[in-house]
Amino acid sequence: MSGLLSLAVVLLTSCGTEPEMRPTVTVEQAEQRVEEYFRQALAVLPAQARPVPGLIDTYECDDPTDNGPKGRKIASVDYQIHDLPQADYPEYISRIERWWLDHDFRILDDERPERESIWVENNRDGFRMRVTASKGGKLILIASSPCVWPDGTPEPA
């Protein structure tokens, strides 16, 4: 399971390739927004859906392909969703996809039908989400922020 979570975090944490400084929210705001996006997507699932936290973390934005400045952070959450029938996962994933598309997310990768997994990014703020059904029968919902400054955009020197 930890291999799947590690892969998901790596896939979700691309910070971009532009070297200039961009305005960011604070780490605290990023943590709140990933949780908010998660809760909003969860709300489209049946009431019996029970989220169990897997990884809730804030870590260094040290993507080697990122040309941006050091010192930024990424906020990330992932939850396993329990108490839903595995046979209905494709329908639940479609519901989440519809919510994303109605809320200004764009699809970055859709692995269906080979694998029940979709990865998206919000067009306004760069936050990313993924929903995936693992081979072990687990439904996992992940949200992560783009790279942000701990206290928001730093003042020019």
Query: What pTM did the predictor assign?
Result: 0.81
Concatenate the DSSP letters of all residues of the chain into one string. Answer: -HHHHHHHHHHH----S--S------HHHHHHHHHHHHHHHHTTS-TT-EEEEEEEEEEE---TT--SPSS-EEEEEEEEEESS-GGGHHHHHHHHHHHHHHTTEEEEEE-TTTSSEEEEEETTT--EEEEEE-TTS-EEEEEE---B-BTBSPPP-
Alpha-carbon torsion angle 19, 24, 118, 81, nearest 10: 140
Residues of the chain with pLDDT under 50: 1-19, 155, 157
Domain ranges of the chain: 2-13+23-144
